[in-house]
Every structure is written in C-alpha cells, then in structure tokens.
Chain A
C-alpha cells in the first residue's frame, strides 16, 4: 500500500495508547477514516487509520501495533486521504506483505492509479448474475456444490484440516470449459497463516506454472495482527483492478478469515465497545459483507472476481459467529469433516452441510448436463438416509434393517469411498459417471429425484 498526496498536518498530541489504538487530542481537521502515518520515537513509520473523530479528539488504529510508541515524541502525519493501493499490470507475479510492501526483493510495481482499498459498493442493478461453471476437478464440488464465476464460496475448515491443500488444488486446476486459460489469475491473501502454509501454496502454484499469473499478499502468523484488517482489502482492490479494468477472471483466495475476525475483535475490545456474541463486535456481519460482497460480475465488463475463502471453525462449531455470519453472506459453503479426514479421505468434504447457492445457474442442459441437478438431488437424498441408518444401527443393530435400508447403508459407504475420496483431478463427466454407477443398485421407482426420461438415457447398469 502506498499513500499519495502531500502530508499536510503533523500532530504530536498523543494522549493515550491502548492495545492497537492511539488517542490524540487537538485533532483539528482530521477526516473520518483517513489513513495516517505514525512516526515512532525511533523514526520508524507505521500506518494507521482514523476510527472516530469526536470534537478535538480522534481515535487511530495502528496497523503494525503500538509497541514502542510514547506520548511525548510520537508524531502523527495526516494526509486527508483514505488508504490506497497503487494498481497496475505490474502487480502480477509479485509478492507483498500484508500492508502491500514488496517482499520479493523487487521494486514497488509502477502504479497506474491509486485506488481506495475500501472499494465502493457494487450497484446491485449493475451486477450480472453468475452463471459460468468453473470445473475445479473435485467431485464433491463440481458434482454437488458447483462453483461459478463471480461466486463467493468459503471452505469451513477446522484446525489441522486440509483446507489449504484443497484451495491450492483448486487454484491450480480450476478451469472454465471453453475459456482461454491465461485469462485466469489468482490473488492470494494470507492473514496470520504460518510461513509453512504460505510457502506450500506458493510452491503449488509454481509447480502448476501459475506463479507469474498470481499476486500474493502475505500477513504471516508473526506479522502484526491489526494489519490483517487491511490485507484482504488490498487483495480485493488488486482483484477488482485486474478483473474490471483488465478483463481478467480473478480467483481470490483469502485465508484464514478467522484470524481476520480476531483482529476485528481486538480493536473492538480496545475501544471498549459493547461486545456481541463471543466477544465479536455487533457490526461484524457488515464488516465481513464489505469484503465478501466484493465478488461478482458486472454488466459491460468482461472480467470477474470469484472468492474462495478459508475459515477455521473454532472447536469445529458451525454455529460459532465466524462461520455463522460468513455463511449468511457467502453464496454457500464447503464444509470439511474431521471424521472423514481421520478416515483418510481427501478432500474430506461433508456434503450434507455443504451448499452452493449459485449452482442452479451454472449447470444443466447447455451448460453441464441435463441430469446434473437430478443426480445431485438423488445422491443427497440417499446419502442423508444412509447416514441416518448408520446412526440407527448403532442403537438397534443391523438385524432389523429391510433390504432397502441395507442398500442405502451400503450406498453411504460407497459414496464416501468412490465419490468423495479422490486422487487427482476429475473432469465433471467422470464425476457424473461415478454417480450413475453408485445408483446402479436401485430400481427406477426408488430414484424419485430423477425424471423417467433421464433414467432411460443415462442409466449405465446393464
């Protein structure tokens, strides 16, 4: 991130420092939400942002922390402008820290323009409804929870579950059928992830030959926590530039939003705000929406921004405010299961709580295949029943099961082993083929979700 314009005012009126916050006095002329430079007693420059102005007082959050600041000599420089990112084609192939400074040894890329990192809300009437199928090569996604261009889809993970691997796989393998592959670029933003995860991701893209089509913004686990509030906004600003100025299809990967939310809580606590559920601020929904809604397609613009967001569910609890509020904003969710992971399945996607809300627009005759939706519904229905039966036999034993029930039970196992678990990329046609094979044991009357004419055309169990 760089700031443009002249520094007009410099203040030396810090009255109070608490957590990530600085309180200043005699703050005449401070603009709400403007970005400031904080000059430490040692002459180091840190960036911060005004949170509130109240008469002669102002509250500033310092992205890289308040460690080492004092009241007497710390200076605040005001520029009257919001945080901006220098955007340009030179972003591609580069690596930055979480505040936008290059970390790959190269010079800062030549900015063509400076864009406000907060973006502007997209006019809903200017949106083009997403409808282009992205083939990720993952059966549980392509077959049952299809991703489309312009969608925001999170992966609800848990600590130690392979969400990063899944996202990296998708970033390297995803393609849009019929589209030119080099239109597709990746913007990766890490918030508080370990250096190991970040370099795993980088290596994966490098091996896939996609590194020069990637922009990385990395705030690592030992980087300043408050900076995490900035990192996804930088990434999305870069993405919007590439998508809507350059016509590219951008896949933005944000990981791990749980760390982002914790930074948000830290600031709220320091401001002594009334805490909401589990101490997270009441405006977290709105704050997350200001990030997640920066996905989509626009009328009159050829590019798109697709978001794949990783978040860890604390205690694997899907009702925790972080996954809960995210789920209320995103267009579905892919939920990873510790149980499937323990049993060695990859990717360990639990399809029952997973959902893609934009699936219907991206599939069906002319897009994927006419039997796509019915097949997905049928697999869901049988798998849900099979899972119920698993619980049931734990109580009453297998003896009381009817032959039909036994088939459902066997189906649930086969579904996990043959459909969920996979080794390498699977095209959609193969995914659907496996699905039909799994249904071969059932009579036409049992396949209630599939119209008779499709049964005739697609049944493969001869």
Chain B
C-alpha cells in the first residue's frame, strides 16, 4: 500500500473539503480512480477513494482524522490498496492495512508513545532479511503465470513457493545466485525481474485454473464440529452468537487445532487482549502435525475495536488476499474472521457519513453483495501454473447479532452464504455447556460422510445419524417432562432421555481449556460415540424386555465411566473403548 508503484508524472494533489469522522471529501483529484490509495494531510494519513461524484472524491481514511482542516492536501498514489506477499508473512501481526504491529511496538525511539499507535506511519510489511532460495527453473525455460520458479523454507513446515506474477510470463533470461534479500529478484524473465515478493490489490480475487468441489473436511478435533456439523476444506462456516457465548474461543480453538496448513486470524473490531492472548499462547503451543510452534503457521490481522473504523473494512480483504496467496502455493488455509459484524458496522458507519439511503437496520443496500464477495473467496482450487497444486481457503466467520437476535441482516445474509452454521445458544453458555453450539439448531450442508467412513471407520456416518436422531428425540421428551414431569415417560423413553443427557454432557461438552480434551482426534470421537451407543442399545433392550425400573437401570455404576472417556489418552482410546464395551455388556446387558 505504501511503496506502491506510482505513476511517473507528478501525483495529482487535491484539497480536503469536508471531514466527518472517518470520511473525507476532497476536490481536485480529477484523475484518480475508484479504490485508489490517497494520502491525506500533513501526516499523510492513508485513505482509499470509495466514491467519485462530479468534482468530488469520497475517501475513507484508515487513521483518525482529528486535526485535518478544510484545504489540507490530498495526494493520489495512483495505485489501489494492495498487500505485500512473500516469505516472512507467517508468524506476523499486521493491522488492517498490513502495517507490521510488532515492528511498531518495538520501535523504541519514543519512550511513551511506543505501545500506542501513532498516525501516518510508513513501515514495509515484510522486513528485509536474507533468504536461501532453491530455484526450480533454469535460464532458457519458458514460464507461465502461476508457475513455481523458486522455493524458500519460510518456516519448518511451510515451503514458500515463488510464483510468476501476471505480466511476467516469458523466457527465463537470468537467475539469482545464492541467497537473496526480501526485496531482491529471484529470476528475470525477458530481462524483467521476478521478485521474491509481489503485490496484489486486496479487492481483486486471485485467479485459479478451476474450482474444485469441497469433499474433504477441515478436521478440528471438536466433537460437535467433526461428528455433527463439519465444515469442508474450501467451504465456509458462520458462527453467530450473542456476547460471551463463545465465538472467539471457538475461532481460537479452530486456529489452534484444525488441520489447515496456514491460519489467518482476523481480529476485526474486537478486543486487543484477545490478540495479545494469541500472541502469548500460540508461540508456546506445538502444532501436532508439524512439531513446530503454532505461531509458525499463523498470521494475525488485528484491527481492534478502538483502532480506526474504516480499516476494519480493509482488514477482511487484506486477510483473504493473503489466504489466496498461500492457497495458490498449494496449501490449505483457514481464515478466522472475528467478527464479520464489526466489518458490516464499519460499512454502515461510512455509508451513513455519506448520507446514503439506509437499508435494513441502517446497513447500506450493498451489505449482502459485499458479504457475498467475501464468502465467495473461499473455495478449493487447482492453482494456475505448474507443477499441479491444489489448495483451499476455508472461511470461518463469527457474527455478533445485536441482542443475540439471529433475525438481523448480517446473520441472515451470512447464513445464506455459509455452508455450515454453528448456532451459539446463550442459555447453554449460561449453564457453562461449552462449546455452546446448539445441536438441534446448527447444520452442515457439506456431504462429508463418505470421507469419514473411508478414513476413520465405516460406521462413522451411521453413528452420526443415530446421535442426531437421538438428540432430536430427547428434545421432544424434554418438552413432555417440562409439562408433565419425568413420571410421564415410558421406560424406553426414559432411557432415551438418559442417553440424550449423556450425549450432551459426556460427548458434546468439550472444554477448550482442558489439557487433554481440548483436542479430540477423530478415532477417539468415534470410539466415545460407539461406547455411548452400545450402552444405549443395552439399556433399551433391558427396558423393553423386562419390567425394570428405568431409573435403577440408568444408575448402574459402570455407566459413570462414560463420563470419564473425555480424559482417555488418544493412544489407548480404542483399547479402553473395547474394554468398556465388554464391561457394559456384562454389567448392564443382563439382569
């Protein structure tokens, strides 16, 4: 954004005419284009042209506009808002317009200002350092856009692939020799440099050879997700919920444990401490698949609620563009956006300053199309160029509905776009049933049963269907009990009632803070459910065959073991499950 290529002629200079919060109206920018980046005022605040009308350019400013005057200078950079892409992104924290926040925090020439964000600061996103490059092409080769020409070991787990950017296809005329610096070229095609880093306009989606059907789940280690409502790699999920119901914990949990290669975590209009938490925790956690630090596969985009509101809008685009870039290298990327509502509110705030005609709840009429643009940038693709690479971007968007009421516009439009819906329930959160994802109100439109049957156990989908049905049945029984008391249930119904509770408490509840249970591998999920189902079948047989007291049946001491399965170590879970199934048959199966 800052060192963007400028037009050779002198930049057009305009003048501020009006300042209203994050919106500035300027005149005299005759040659500017929509979405060009401009610099406003003495401090050269970063802004983006969002509307042109007659003489006037409307600019949303990504920094606080306090102190600007009518007549202040506005300079057109001639380039749209873009991001810098290249090795060194992983492990970093950026603000909404990709300024490196850790670099800014470490800047110690200002004794007190340093932990606070000052305005008009220009720092390149990627810091200058040396990289070892492995070339995959040689002089004389013909290369196309998207071809991998070199790789760089960015982190122990990620081999960063340098691809030919648009406009640079051609014959390789020169290659680098030995390590290069961040800003250097790795090869030359037709005598033009192909640099280690490249830039991409954030509002433009990156192309691919073709879109692929999402048929593989993003495995999260969360039982309610993987077993009941999974999301596909390249798919999208929305998680709406009132305040304190668990959106952020869920996003962070998935950022920690899901089996994506790269995680982009966007704190959009949320709390500073939540990012501090990620920054303190992730470097200490080990990625179970790569053995490296979790921070090594994570990029944070932080535009907290007290940071300039317009930059929230940019942060989502910055994130998704970086995600597409890693996707094109052939990686599975997950974007956690917390919260898309704050992004929607930023649109609303800017729109209302423009005195646009408000739509539903004051949101601009283009809210649904903007949301769609974002969600539609998720997907599994076959990337451009050679060698063949498949990658995906999965989007997981938190939604913060006012008053926890899901009928509001951002929730409703998100539901139309996302394939998986995790409905957070305030009542469950109040009773500390975590994750507070409601089992009867959530859904997943992805057809992933086959994958699970093939990769975990062929009974996976049958157990899943059984669990869903039982939970639905329990819900009906609940309403009977609420009206008539538990006495009104027949013995078999009492068993169902009992098993529903076991499913909720001993299977679906999963504390994100429990050392063992925070992550539950698929095999363990399967065996836990297999045990519960076995116990249920035994109880139903007994309850329907004999004249026994269901309450007595369900109080058999061996059943209490079901509550301890969460703490089983993943390695021994199958063995322990088989043993418990045996004990259940012996102790519950017969009178």
Contacts and interface: CB of A to CB of B under 8 A. Distances in A.
Interface residues of B, number: 75
Contacts of B104: 123, 125
B302 interface: yes
A286 B560 contact: no
Interface of B: 17-21, 65-71, 93, 101-102, 104-105, 112-118, 242-244, 267, 269, 271-273, 275-277, 279-280, 302, 304-307, 309, 342, 345, 348-349, 352, 358, 361-362, 400, 402-405, 430-432, 482-487, 505-506, 511, 513, 551, 557, 560, 563-564, 567
Main secondary structure of the interface of A (DSSP, over half): mixed
Given A118-B66, A127-B273, A282-B352, 19 more contacts: A29-B69, A29-B70, A31-B69, A32-B66, A55-B17, A122-B115, A122-B116, A122-B272, A124-B272, A129-B273, A129-B280, A274-B362, A290-B306, A294-B306, A324-B242, A324-B243, A327-B244, A402-B486, A445-B560
Given A54-B18, A122-B116, A451 B567 contact: yes
A409 to B, nearest CB: 14
Interface of A: 27-34, 52-56, 82, 118-130, 150, 244-245, 273-274, 276-277, 282-283, 285-286, 289-290, 293-294, 296, 298-301, 319, 321, 324-325, 327-329, 331-333, 352-353, 355, 357-358, 360-361, 373, 377, 380-381, 384-385, 392, 395-397, 400-402, 445, 448, 451-452
Given A120-B116, A120-B117, A396 B400 contact: no
Contact of B273 (A294, A296, A355): A296
A289 B305 contact: yes
A355 B436 CA distance: 14
Nearest to A350: B430
A329 B305 contact: yes
A299 B115 contact: yes
A121 B306 contact: yes
Given A52-B20, A319-B403, A296 B362 contact: no
Nearest to A328: B243
Nearest to A80: B67
A407 to B, nearest CB: 14
A302 to B, nearest CB: 13
- Which are the 10 A-B pairs with shortest beta-carbon distances? A400-B485, A289-B305, A126-B115, A319-B403, A384-B431, A33-B66, A120-B116, A293-B306, A127-B276, A327-B243
Given A82-B67, A283-B21, A396-B485, A122 B400 contact: no
A61 B275 CA distance: 35
Nearest to A144: B432
A245 B7 CA distance: 45
Nearest to B19: A32
A119 B116 contact: yes
Contacts of B65: 32-33
B345 A125 contact: no
A373 B513 CA distance: 10
A313 to B, nearest CB: 12
B551 A402 contact: yes
Contacts of B484: 396
Contacts of A300: 114-115
B432 A122 contact: no
A53 B117 contact: no
A361 B276 CA distance: 12
Nearest to A329: B305
A80 to B, nearest CB: 8
Contact of A445 (B17, B70, B432, B557): B557
A355 B276 CA distance: 20
A451 B567 CA distance: 9
Contacts of B402: 277, 319, 321, 324-325
B432 A384 contact: yes
B358 to A, nearest CB: 5
B305 A293 contact: yes
5 contacts: A32-B67, A33-B67, A125-B93, A300-B115, A380-B431
Given A273-B352, A285-B305, A55 B18 contact: yes
A283 B271 contact: no
Contacts of A293: 271-272, 304-306
A282 B273 contact: no
B64 to A, nearest CB: 8
B267 A124 contact: yes
Contacts of B486: 400, 402
B116 A121 contact: yes
Contacts of B304: 121, 124, 289, 293
Contacts of B403: 277, 319, 321, 324
Contacts of A321: 402-403
A392 B70 contact: no
A395 B480 CA distance: 12
Given A31-B68, A402-B486, A282 B17 contact: no
A124 B115 CA distance: 8
Nearest to B488: A400
A387 to B, nearest CB: 9
A381 B432 contact: yes
